[in-house]
Amino acid sequence: MEKIYTLQETADLLKVSTRSVLRYIKSGRLKATKIGQWRVGESALDEFLNQSKNRHDKPRKK
Protein backbone atom coordinates (compact mmCIF):
# COMPACT_ATOMS: atom_id res chain seq x y z
CA MET A 1 0.00 0.00 0.00
CA GLU A 2 1.27 3.44 -0.94
CA LYS A 3 2.30 5.90 1.77
CA ILE A 4 0.13 9.02 1.84
CA TYR A 5 1.53 12.28 3.20
CA THR A 6 -0.25 15.26 4.71
CA LEU A 7 0.49 18.76 3.47
CA GLN A 8 2.82 19.36 6.43
CA GLU A 9 4.65 16.06 5.97
CA THR A 10 5.10 16.84 2.27
CA ALA A 11 6.45 20.31 3.12
CA ASP A 12 8.87 18.80 5.63
CA LEU A 13 10.14 16.25 3.09
CA LEU A 14 10.61 18.91 0.41
CA LYS A 15 12.04 21.41 2.92
CA VAL A 16 9.59 24.10 1.82
CA SER A 17 6.58 25.81 3.38
CA THR A 18 3.08 24.38 3.24
CA ARG A 19 2.17 27.42 1.14
CA SER A 20 4.75 26.33 -1.46
CA VAL A 21 3.31 22.80 -1.49
CA LEU A 22 -0.16 24.26 -2.10
CA ARG A 23 1.23 26.31 -5.01
CA TYR A 24 2.77 23.15 -6.51
CA ILE A 25 -0.58 21.35 -6.18
CA LYS A 26 -2.68 24.20 -7.61
CA SER A 27 -0.28 24.70 -10.53
CA GLY A 28 -0.45 21.00 -11.37
CA ARG A 29 3.24 20.31 -10.68
CA LEU A 30 2.40 18.04 -7.72
CA LYS A 31 -0.49 15.61 -7.89
CA ALA A 32 -2.60 15.45 -4.74
CA THR A 33 -6.07 14.45 -3.60
CA LYS A 34 -8.28 16.40 -1.27
CA ILE A 35 -9.73 14.05 1.35
CA GLY A 36 -10.86 16.58 3.94
CA GLN A 37 -7.36 18.01 3.65
CA TRP A 38 -4.84 17.67 0.84
CA ARG A 39 -3.00 14.33 0.67
CA VAL A 40 0.02 13.52 -1.49
CA GLY A 41 0.86 9.96 -2.50
CA GLU A 42 4.42 8.71 -2.34
CA SER A 43 4.47 8.03 -6.10
CA ALA A 44 3.27 11.58 -6.83
CA LEU A 45 6.00 12.96 -4.57
CA ASP A 46 8.64 10.83 -6.32
CA GLU A 47 7.40 12.04 -9.72
CA PHE A 48 7.54 15.66 -8.54
CA LEU A 49 11.09 15.24 -7.25
CA ASN A 50 12.21 13.66 -10.54
CA GLN A 51 10.63 16.49 -12.55
CA SER A 52 12.25 19.08 -10.31
CA LYS A 53 15.63 17.37 -10.63
CA ASN A 54 15.34 17.26 -14.43
CA ARG A 55 14.23 20.88 -14.50
CA HIS A 56 17.43 21.96 -12.69
CA ASP A 57 19.66 19.79 -14.91
CA LYS A 58 18.65 21.66 -18.07
CA PRO A 59 20.62 24.79 -18.95
CA ARG A 60 18.65 28.01 -18.52
CA LYS A 61 17.80 30.07 -21.57
CA LYS A 62 19.20 33.58 -21.51
Query: What would the pLDDT profile of 13-25 be if each residue is shown by its tens digit?
Result: 999 999 999 999 9
C-alpha span between 22 and 55 (Å, rounded): 19
Percent of the chain at pLDDT above 90?
Answer: 77
Q: All domains of the chain, ordered by start, with CATH? A: 4-57 (1.10.1660.10)
pLDDT band per the 50, 70, 90 thresholds, residue 58: low
Q: Is the pLDDT of residue 60 over 60?
A: no
Per-residue pLDDT, 53:
73
DSSP helix, strand, coil percent of the chain (3-state; round to 5): 55, 20, 25
Q: Is the pLDDT of residue 8 over 70?
A: yes
